[in-house]
Amino acid sequence: MTETPFAARRHPLGTVELVPIATAAIPEIATRMAAIDPWARLRRPAAAMAERIAVPDPGAHRFSIESDGAILGYVSIRHPFLRGPYLEQIAIFPEAQRRGLARRVLDWMAGEVEGLESNLWLCVTEWNEGARATYRALGFDEVAPLPDLVAPGQSEIFMRRRLDAAPAA
């Protein structure tokens, strides 16, 4: 039987690997995410971040990004979504940024649905310029602002990367 996309197993990505989220890893990931933007600026408490990562959800595929047992980041992908998966959360911790990890994760995400789906989706907060630049560099187009979605007075930008699959009927 062919494996379903985003299977809960280790996925090697060059020098790092995606590891299905382990309960023991959640406090460290949540604490580190709460300390960096956009979550720091939004004042998301680490406990709330941890709760969101831990809540059972069969549609969410959650992985720590690891190298030699060290956690370098976190990614959560929602699939199925809208004729393609949705990048729900990604955090590459500061010491691992600008080393191509987000590029690898997004290319893996595309590879998991190659020939099956015709889009990747995500949202980015309007003032998160680093992430917006990253997603533009990785082939995403800004589709529409979604005002007040996450916090009053700010917009999330819905972004789409088209894939080469034929649209499903």
Ligand X SMILES: CC(C)(COP(=O)(O)OP(=O)(O)OC[C@H]1O[C@@H](n2cnc3c(N)ncnc32)[C@H](O)[C@@H]1OP(=O)(O)O)[C@@H](O)C(=O)NCCC(=O)NCCS
Give me the residues that bind ligand X (CB under 6 A), please.
Answer: 36, 38, 90-92, 97-103, 124, 128, 130-131, 133-134, 137
Residue with the closest Cβ to ligand X?
130
* Distance of closest approach, residue 91 Cβ to ligand X, in angstroms: 5
Amino acid letter at 126?
E
Nearer to ligand X, 83 or 132 (CB): 132
DSSP 48-104: HHHHHHHS--TTEEEEEEEETTEEEEEEEEE-S-SSS-EEEEEEE-GGGTTSSHHHH
* Distance of closest approach, residue 138 Cβ to ligand X, in angstroms: 6
Provide CB contacts within 8 A for 95, sequence distance 6+. Answer: 72
* Distance of closest approach, residue 89 Cβ to ligand X, in angstroms: 7
Nearer to ligand X, 26 or 87 (CB): 87
Nearer to ligand X, 124 or 163 (CB): 124
Longest dimension (CA), the chain: 48
Nearer to ligand X, 102 or 120 (CB): 102
* Distance of closest approach, residue 6 Cβ to ligand X, in angstroms: 18
Nearer to ligand X, 71 or 116 (CB): 71
Q: Are 124 and 135 spatial neighbours (Cβ–Cβ below 8 Å)?
A: yes
CB atoms within 10 A of CB 37: 12
Order of strands across the sheet that contains 16-20: 11-13, 16-20, 60-67, 70-78, 86-92, 119-125, 155-162, 141-147
